[in-house]
Amino acid sequence: MRVGLLTGGGDVPGLNAAIRAIVKRGEMEHGASIIGFRNGWQGLADGDVMSLSRPQIRNVLPLGGTLLGTARFHPKKADGSMDAVLATLEAERIDAVIVIGGDGTLHAASKVADEGIKIVGIPKTIDNDVWGTERSIGFNTAVTIATEAVDRIRTTAESHNRVLLVEVMGRHAGWIAATAGIAGGAEVVLAPERPFDIEQVVRQLKHRHRAHASFSIIVVAEGAVPAKGTAMQYETELGQFGEIVAGSVSERLKCEIAERTGFDTRVTVLGHVQRGGSPTPADRILGSRFGVAAIDAIANGETNVMTALQADEIVLVPLSEIAGKVKHVPTELLDVATALA
Ligand code: F6P
Confidence of residue 108 (pLDDT cuts 50, 70, 90): very high
| pLDDT at 240 > cutoff 80 | no
pLDDT for position 132: 97
- Which atom from ligand 1 is nearest to the alpha carbon of 104? 1
What pLDDT sits at residue 195? Answer: 97
Cα distance between residue 247 and residue 292, in whole Å: 38
For the CA of 223, the nearest atom of ligand 1:
8
11 pocket-lining for ligand 1 (C-beta < 6 Å): no
pLDDT > 80? residue 23: yes
- C-alpha neighbours within 13 Å on the C-beta side of residue 235: 3
Taking CA atoms only, the protein residue closest to ligand 1 atom 15 is 10
| Secondary structure element (H or E) that encloses residue 309, with its range | strand 305-310
pLDDT for residue 340: 84
Closest residue by Cα to atom 1, ligand 1, is 10
Q: What is the per-residue pLDDT across 322-334, written as a single tens digit (0 to 9) for each? A: 988 999 999 999 9
Q: What is the pLDDT of residues 194-238, one digit of tens each?
A: 999 999 999 999 999 999 999 999 999 999 999 999 999 999 989
With a pLDDT cut of 90, the percent of the chain lying above it is 93
pTM metric for this prediction? 0.96
Asked if 170 contacts 143 with a C-beta cutoff of 8 angstroms, the reply is: no
What does the pLDDT look like over 25-47, one tens digit per residue? 999 999 999 999 999 999 999 99
Task: Decide if pLDDT at 309 tops 90.
Answer: yes
Q: Cα(202)–Cα(257) distance, rounded to whole angstroms?
A: 7
pLDDT, tens digit, for every residue of 137-174? 999 999 999 999 999 999 999 999 999 999 999 999 99
Q: Establish whether residue 103 lines the binding site of ligand 1, counting it when its CB lies within 6 angstroms of any ligand atom.
A: no
**Residue 77 reports pLDDT greater than 90:** no
Q: Tell whether the torsion through CA atoms of 194, 199, 204 and 205 is positive or negative.
A: positive
Distance 156 CA to ligand 1 centre (A): 28
pLDDT recorded at residue 323: 85
Ligand 1 geometric centre to CA of 321 (Å): 23
Q: How far apart are CA 30 and CA 38, in angstroms?
A: 23
pLDDT at 33: 98
For residue 341, pLDDT over 80 is answered with no
Ligand 1 centroid – CA 71 distance (Å): 11
| 56, pLDDT greater than 90 | yes
10 C-alpha to ligand 1 centroid (Å): 6
The pLDDT of residue 202 is: 98
- Report whether residue 124 contacts ligand 1, using a CB cutoff of 6 Å: no
pLDDT band at 80 (very low <50, low <70, confident <90, very high): confident
By three-state DSSP, how is residue 341 classified?
Answer: coil
pLDDT attached to residue 339: 87
Q: Quickly state the pLDDT bin for 242 (edges 50, 70, 90).
A: confident
Cα–Cα distance measured from residue 39 to residue 45, given in angstroms and rounded to the nearest whole number: 10
Find the Cα–Cα–Cα–Cα dihedral 12, 26, 76, 235, rounded to 10°. -20
The predicted-structure confidence for 246-302, as pLDDT tens digits, reads as follows 999 999 999 999 999 999 999 999 999 999 999 999 999 999 999 999 999 999 999
Give me the long-range contacts of 226-234 (CB less than 8 A, separation at least 24): 226/195, 226/196, 226/197, 226/198, 227/195, 227/196, 227/197, 228/195, 230/195, 230/196, 230/197, 230/198, 230/199, 231/197, 231/198, 231/199, 232/198, 232/256
Atom of ligand 1 nearest to the CA of 222: 8
pLDDT at 218 (0 to 100): 98
